[in-house]
């Protein structure tokens, strides 16, 4: 069983819609959770991080964390074609290592 799991996609949404990206993790001791965006051939860039249960909003992005369900999600409101990328979920365990999910490819169609 993978430690961090994401649906590989592609997830296709129309421009202006809400894109919902999901991630589950296996280590209950995980302490912090990150969402990265990676364009093809480029390095990942941090979008958001979340430590506590609930929602955290930053502009068009909302991260949601449910530690009881071991589930973290990223919502992108008013999706734009420029949001088309692979979104990587990463989880930091108590041992301080970052484990990445396989990524979800998002396609926003004009």
Phi-psi region of 102 (alpha: psi -120 to 50; beta: other; left: phi over 0): alpha
DSSP characters over 25-70: ES-TT--EEEEEEE-TTS--EEEEEE-SSEEEEETTEEEEEETTTT
- Taking CB under 8 A as the criterion, the residue among 19, 34, 73, 106 binding another protein is 34
Q: Considering only 20-28, 53-61, 67-75, 91-99, which stretch makes contact with another protein by CB under 8 A?
A: 91-99
Kindly state whether residue 41 participates in binding another protein, applying the rule CB under 8 A. Answer: yes
Residue count, binding to another protein (CB under 8 A)? 20
The minimum distance between CB 103 and another protein, in angstroms, equals: 5
Task: Enumerate binding residues for another protein (CB under 8 A).
Answer: 32, 34, 36, 41-46, 49, 88, 90, 92, 97-103
């Amino acid at each position: 069983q993978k430690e961090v799991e994401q649906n590989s996609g592609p997830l296709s949404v129309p421009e202006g819609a809400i894109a919902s990206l999901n991630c589950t993790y296996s280590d209950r001791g995980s302490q912090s959770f990150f969402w990265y965006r990676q364009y093809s051939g480029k390095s990942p860039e941090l979008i958001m991080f979340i430590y506590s249960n609930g929602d955290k909003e930053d502009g068009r992005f909302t991260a949601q964390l449910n530690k009881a369900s071991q589930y973290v999600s990223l919502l992108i409101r008013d999706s734009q074609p420029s949001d088309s990328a692979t979104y990587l979920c990463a989880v930091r365990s108590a041992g301080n290592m970052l484990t990445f999910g396989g990524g979800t490819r998002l396609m926003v169609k004009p």
